[in-house]
Structure 1
């Protein structure tokens, strides 16, 4: 016997919401009311307003009993649930050529599929046996490989744009916690000396000495991370100069990471130069001004570039930010001669990269390094590679 309430609930509910005009951007696309637009702004956009841009997704979560006022807001989960419901339901079909995802107010377009057409596709079977569409917990917690498999399917340009959004939505939802953690690598004279992973979402203070009590981003004090001591530097002259430079780095820098990117504030007297995907000019050095908060890495921009490496030249973008203390960078001086270089990477992005490279190796494909990559990426030893792990076994780890 057919269930007359199951598969019809989403269709009836959504039509009512469109007709209500209560949700900005949720409108009919044509006069015959067979096509409609649904707002699809990404949570990472600077002008994202949860109350407005996530309102229809929140309404669906409330309707399904997945959310009630007072619960923790999870707009990414709400969006995922409605997307799954639309994609599973035979009542709806996305019209990708009409969707606009790269504009200031992005939206998707769906077609309401007539019941006769659905029955024809299923050989006259009972359409109303379809249960109320929703996401299972396993779908919400889908693995990286599932999404990478979608991305690698040689999509059309229209679907490619859609799949970029799928990757971004999934990534932000599954890695929001890991995006607050940073992997920080220290290099003295071009040689790797230490690596540490931050643990607090409030960020960290990187300095020469222990500085406590700072609470610039919230109610909890920042994690304190110290520069490794210069005693491990072999060259006596380099060790002496590095120690002198430490004298200008006492107040250090503040680092903070979230789903939007990596932010920095220079407090120390010593100059700090940087390179990353937010650099205003790619052909010259960028200096941090004192006591000014600067965004030095854009996570969403990286994910877009990462997506392109699958569908284009297979050039892996640089996921790390490089900081150079006391000396101009990048410049003509060989990177091995720089006294102090620190590289910062979001833990969540590293997890995505590791998973993707594993997937590529399994498929027999290869991701090529970017020839335009910052020179420090090519010349400095990489402590994350198998080759450099041997180096770390031979070199004493420094507790920071």
Structure 2
């Protein structure tokens, strides 16, 4: 395993310690094999971001993850450096020397000599009983780190469940959706649950009011977290995980997901609201500021966020079938408890949930079917009598019959559609 990243961190961190410009960052011993790093909790009354988060901010700047003028996220900065230290073979925490319950708390890390690294650093890996390198999954967090992540995220209390009286909860600025066929057709979502990159469970969501994704009832508080107004979808139990350490850490994380997230799909797209304490990151085809995804983003607690834009998908699909654009993805990825930098590293995450818009998947399948027919010379949506075309026509008609406040961005009045 290459440890180039660890070497880079080691050189950088040693330089910061020797600079003396970070309060509390200092050598612990004369031989300079141990060092202290300040570790004050952001919730402390005397917490000063400019001082107490300075070393974490410096690492974020060094890695290109933060620029002056952007929103300050000290908890995220801290997580990044902690994960980097834990992943690097050059460092190991000297927990017996760390002091976290004093007024100026700190952790102590040891710089591991290269000769000790020949067997690798396995204490923070998920390993099989055989210990073969092919069965190792690199994780961002340990049980203690999950606890700390949760503490960093704790804020104001949130509602225990979605208000039953708020029919527009996921669309605060729009009229209520009609209850006809079009509305129900676009409420279908396929949920796929992955633990450590392995598919554990799939479930279809059909409820027009959406669903709550939360742990099994025994991890929550029973009826308090249930609702008749939406479908209940549960994370698979951690008992299904093969490896002991991965199972232990996943179970720990599930305890911080008890309020879960609320998800609803309609003609406009997929909307989500995070209620749980744990951090949640998402990646999907939706607008993020002035940029259209997929771009990994963090879900703020209690905020309603559009994580999939149907109109944007249809626009991309039209360009794809004309050979002008790659195939759009009808799936949104949610990552619980760990930061999601890109989809390439999703397979090493503890808990991933992928949400597929069923109708959009059908449309993509139909376009792929038409593109695979060598005798089809016309790449436009001129509907023939094939099953794929009939399916596309039905779905497009369902979408375009919606008389809500806004048509999809890609709708074209001259798009030929036949029943």
TM-score interval for Structure 1 and Structure 2 normalised by the shorter chain: 0.3 to 0.5
User: Whose relative contact order is higher, 1 or 2, with alpha carbons under 8 Å and at least 6 apart?
Assistant: 1
More helix by share: 1
